[in-house]
Amino acid sequence: MTGTAGPTVRAHSPGRVNLMGDHTDYNEGVALPMAIDLGTDVTFIPDGGTRVVLRSAGEPELADVDLYVPLDPDLLRAMRPPWSRFVAGMVAAVRPATGGTGSVESSLPIGAGLSSSAALEVALALAFGFEGEPVTMARTCQGVEEAATGVPSGLMDQLVVSGGVEGSALLIDFSDLSTRAVRIPDGVEIVVVHSGLHRSLGRTAYAARRAECDAATHHFGPLGRAGPEAIMGLPDPVMRRRARHVITECDRVRWFAEALEGGDLTEAGRLMVASHRSLAGDFEVSTPELDQLVVHLTSIPGVHGARMTGAGFGGCVVALSEPGVIDLAALTTPAWRVRASAGARVVDRG
């Protein structure tokens, strides 16, 4: 026994959908994601012991972790079942005062690009007793994600699910991690549609895209701070395309935020389609399934625009539309109407 049993803690973290600005976070650019009303709940019951044992409604095997597990990437990535790697990483990062038992429940689809892993990390952090500002929690969880998966992900997912604002998207400047709430206009509906293609970033070219951006950064600094003139100074055509996406995407983020705040949904929709074309052409992270879904959704009267959301290689498309014009039942893949949610929080303690 290392401690005494304490009160049961139940913590909730939302997932997220990114309205604009993919692959800009790790380039010190800007993005406009929003926390959503799908999420993950973690219940933790301290028992004074030296193990953390959690069950998940979506997993057949328990996560059974030593309270003193080190934050060692090699150790974490060898753990089974795979979802226990996140539990172990958060135990190592937060170091709860005692072991305990508990459960995980989630309404987020796995492998859809709606930040199910970030939601799990943040909910675990709060359930284990983490105290700190959203930026600090996001950095902690980002470190665990990389240790557990080997994917050098950016900070967007963890930051928006930690610091989301009810009714608003969050304009994030990754050069200084400042944020500003951008209200979602009345009379607009946000629909997320699965492409039918599940993905795990560790099995995609995500790391290769980041390496290509890093190579371009060596020539003129962070892409998110560069102007369009910098592109022509790059010697490699692939590098130029990657840089062009990031630089133009940052402009689209700013223009999209202005369009939302001004109620110009036609312009917002145009920017979404332009973003998807850039992600598909210059950054090469789309798929035929995502492309076809964007074409289909934007052909529906009343849909202002649509684009892939998240890192790509599968997952979902997000659409901005008039209320009710997208018939979810008529789609051949799962879809959700989502609303802008507040960030992660402790729901109950006692």
> What confidence tens digit (pLDDT) does each residue in 87-96 have?
999 999 999 9
Domain assignment of residue 64, yes or no: yes
pLDDT value of residue 311 = 86
Average pLDDT over residues 65-82: 97
348 has catalytic annotation: no
Number of folded domains that form the chain: 2
User: pTM of the full predicted structure?
Assistant: 0.93
Please report the DSSP string for 116-183 in residue order: HHHHHHHHHHHHTT--S-HHHHHHHHHHHHHHHH-----SHHHHHHHH-BTTEEEEEETTTTEEEEEE
Judge whether 300 lies within some domain. Answer: yes
- pLDDT of 332 above 60: yes
Q: Do 235 and 170 lie in a common domain?
A: no
Domain span at 75: 9-182+341-349
316 versus 154: the higher-pLDDT residue is 316
Are 167 and 190 part of one and the same domain?
no
Q: Is residue 4 part of a domain?
A: no
- Whether residues 35 and 117 fall in one domain: yes
In this prediction, residue 235 has a pLDDT band, given cuts at 50, 70 and 90, of confident
Mean pLDDT of 157-178: 97
Overall average pLDDT of the 257-265 stretch: 97
Q: At residue 187, does pLDDT exceed 80? A: yes
Q: Share the mean pLDDT of the chain.
A: 95
Return the pLDDT at 111.
80
Same domain, residue pair 177 and 192: no
341 neighbors 8 (Cβ within 8 angstroms): no
CB contact burial 132-162 (16+ within 10 A = b; e otherwise): eebbebbbbbbbbbebbbebebbbbbbbbbb
Same domain? For 74 and 223 the reply is no
CATH code of residue 69: 3.30.230.10
Alpha-carbon span 328 to 193, nearest angstrom? 9
Kindly report, residue by residue over 172-183, the tens digit of the pLDDT. Answer: 999 999 999 999
Q: Are residues 249 and 281 in the same domain?
A: yes
Q: Identify whether 328 is part of a domain.
A: yes
pLDDT for position 1: 43
Q: Note whether residue 2 is domain-resident.
A: no
* 25 shares its domain with 88: yes
Is 345 contained in some domain? yes
Catalytic residue among 25, 41, 47, 157: 157
